[in-house]
Chain A
């Protein structure tokens, strides 16, 4: 198991809130907020992979982007590599960028179709280093080797590559500046099953070689079980459970995690017969108008009276296991 006591915290997020204002009417008055991320706290240790899972609209991507300051967060602090970046100016932030990078979901949309592979991978080098053209090219080749792209393809354009290869280009670009921390936002969601394994293995290999730290955002619970050391589960803007991988999958605590895991169809017909499937009723409420009390109280199979009045505190119930649920507050 991943031992957190020995490790150094690389990323520390405290009370992160990301609200998007809603303006209505003729005067565009501020009438409410979409609470995409609402009071989220977690740490990521050096060299580990933190999986961030949840359904669409739960705020996991917004959270990942806010952690890299691609948004200006509404409240909270974000420390990366012992530097507080939550209120840093864009100019100072630019100096931090080589440390923290991102791999995006859609390799089609995140690569400029008018730039060749060499230009795409070389752009961070051009922006952030004073390398000569020849030095840059050396580094580009080195990166292409590292992610398993043929050097001969350096002058080709993104449309000439398949989805899996495009994702490799995106990964090479993220690695160009030797970052410590990479946010992977659904990096395999757009890929075929047989290609997903190739990309996940590549990410794991790179982590081993370069000592990278990942925040791995995904809705695919089985893939997160494979890649993550610890897993955070989000629901409607809040982290409801955070635990080491083994604990979370073997013994989920929060009723939402239990339901989510039971809803994953296993590729095994026998498992479907035995499965004690919990079918959640209804849909996720709107993040602009979350229910009073616990956000999950409208769909929770174990809802109590207190859940509808009081928002449960996110606290440590066992060493390393955090849950926000009244069931564990007695």
Chain B
């Protein structure tokens, strides 16, 4: 799934999002670039405030502007630059060609409409289906995401579903118009582990069945390890490392990724007596970064890290890292 021959469905170049607030600017997303290939599952991992959600919201015009200012060298999707698209053009893309699943299924479903109505809404708006046709399709969608007794459940309201079932409904709505790209923002964070396992299994199935590309945003390295093909690691509004999932876990290059992988405990294998700690706090993104955002917490930081902000250097076929330090030599990178 990672060969370069596959055409990419979504191409993001140098995306920047700045929130201009009364108390100054917040540089939430800084020069983020990535591409997404058909049928691929891209994991985006980072802590809260690292800019992973804002990146995805920005490229589809879901951040409120003002205060946000989104700029960039282009967000190409199906031959169209989403950054220069009009609101109307964006509306035709959102929810139809690009689907969304959010973290909390209770707040993203409307409590006063039954799920049948909410499933049929995109079908009728985007696909121009008749009510009767949309109803048939809605039932198919509920069956697709594994909700038993779909016909009857269409009449139920969101509060009549459990958390896991509600998230299935959300996924069904996102899939309603056969999207090319599905953006899933922490879709299993609010769920219990046994329910999370069900949803992860379902997502993998659906991806294989429907062949869409998925962007999966999470802070959970365990989930990423199980579901992603390729991973972007974000820190301080920037992509600090990008690699195929196996390569990333076996051979992490950025000091942040390396520290993060050591700080999480496991349920099997050797149990360490003491957890490794990343000292300090994540940065506050007040000014345009002229230095590496991780330098204050980095064990490898040297002079150059506080003078310059590293760009992403290629260290393997599909592996690049934004860092001046080279773990191979243990010294500064020759760039």
Q: Determine whether B322 belongs to the interface, using a CB cutoff of 8 Å to chain A.
A: no
8 Å CB contact of B264 from A162, A193, A259: A193
Q: Nearest chain B CB to A296's CB is how many angstroms away?
A: 11
Contact residues in B for A221 (Cβ distance below 8 Å): 193, 267
Q: Determine whether B225 belongs to the interface, using a CB cutoff of 8 Å to chain A.
A: yes
Asked whether A225 lies within 8 Å of B267 as measured between CB atoms, the reply is yes
Q: Which residue of A lies closest to B222 (CB)?
A: A265
Q: Determine whether A317 belongs to the interface, using a CB cutoff of 8 Å to chain B.
A: no
Contact residues in A for B222 (Cβ distance below 8 Å): 222, 264-267
Interface of A, helix, strand, loop or mixed by DSSP: helix
Interface residues on A, range: 35 or more
Contact residues in B for A141 (Cβ distance below 8 Å): none
A302 CA to B195 CA, complexed, in Å: 19
Asked whether A283 lies within 8 Å of B249 as measured between CB atoms, the reply is no
8 Å CB contact of B195 from A164, A262, A283: A283
A263 CA to B48 CA, complexed, in Å: 24
A201 CA to B263 CA, complexed, in Å: 11
Q: Determine whether B162 belongs to the interface, using a CB cutoff of 8 Å to chain A.
A: yes
How many residues does chain B have at the interface if contact means C-beta atoms less than 8 Å apart? 44
B43-72 residues at the A interface, CB under 8 angstroms:
47-48
Asked whether B194 lies within 8 Å of A259 as measured between CB atoms, the reply is yes
Asked whether B249 lies within 8 Å of A268 as measured between CB atoms, the reply is yes
B269-314 residues at the A interface, CB under 8 angstroms:
271-272, 274-279, 281-282
Asked whether A198 lies within 8 Å of B277 as measured between CB atoms, the reply is yes
Asked whether B225 lies within 8 Å of A55 as measured between CB atoms, the reply is no
Which of A36-44, A69-77, A90-98, A271-279 forms contacts with chain B? A271-279
Instruction: List the interface of chain B (C-beta within 8 A of A).
Output: 47-48, 162, 164-165, 192-198, 200-201, 219-226, 245-246, 249, 259-261, 263-268, 271-272, 274-279, 281-282
Q: Which residue of B lies closest to A57 (CB)?
A: B192
Instruction: List the interface of chain A (C-beta within 8 A of B).
Output: 55-56, 162, 164, 192-198, 200-201, 204, 219, 221-223, 225-226, 249, 259-272, 277, 279-280, 283
Asked whether A263 lies within 8 Å of B194 as measured between CB atoms, the reply is yes
A266 CA to B225 CA, complexed, in Å: 7
Contact residues in A for B220 (Cβ distance below 8 Å): 265
Q: Number of A-B pairs whose CB atoms are under 8 Å?
A: 120
Asked whether A265 lies within 8 Å of B226 as measured between CB atoms, the reply is yes
Contact residues in B for A249 (Cβ distance below 8 Å): 267-268
Q: Which residue of B lies closest to A205 (CB)?
A: B274
Contact residues in B for A162 (Cβ distance below 8 Å): 281
A55 CA to B195 CA, complexed, in Å: 10
Asked whether A265 lies within 8 Å of B274 as measured between CB atoms, the reply is no
Q: Which residue of A lies closest to B231 (CB)?
A: A269
A sample of 11 more A-B contacts (CB under 8 A), given A201-B275, A263-B196, is A55-B195, A193-B47, A193-B219, A193-B221, A193-B263, A198-B277, A221-B193, A222-B266, A260-B194, A271-B268, A283-B165
Asked whether B261 lies within 8 Å of A194 as measured between CB atoms, the reply is no
- Given A55-B192, A193-B219, A194-B47 in contact, is the A279-B198 Cβ separation under 8 Å? yes
A264 CA to B192 CA, complexed, in Å: 10
Contact residues in A for B195 (Cβ distance below 8 Å): 55, 283
A181 CA to B147 CA, complexed, in Å: 45
A204 CA to B265 CA, complexed, in Å: 15
Residue among B222, B272, B279 facing the most chain A CB atoms (10 A cut-off): B222
A271 CA to B268 CA, complexed, in Å: 10
Q: Nearest chain A CB to B165's CB is how many angstroms away?
A: 7
Contact residues in B for A262 (Cβ distance below 8 Å): 197
Asked whether A194 lies within 8 Å of B263 as measured between CB atoms, the reply is yes
A91 CA to B20 CA, complexed, in Å: 54
Q: Which residue of B lies closest to A221 (CB)?
A: B267
A270 CA to B269 CA, complexed, in Å: 13
Asked whether A267 lies within 8 Å of B47 as measured between CB atoms, the reply is no
Pick the 5 closest A-B CB pairs, nearest first. Answer: A265-B222, A55-B192, A267-B221, A197-B275, A263-B197
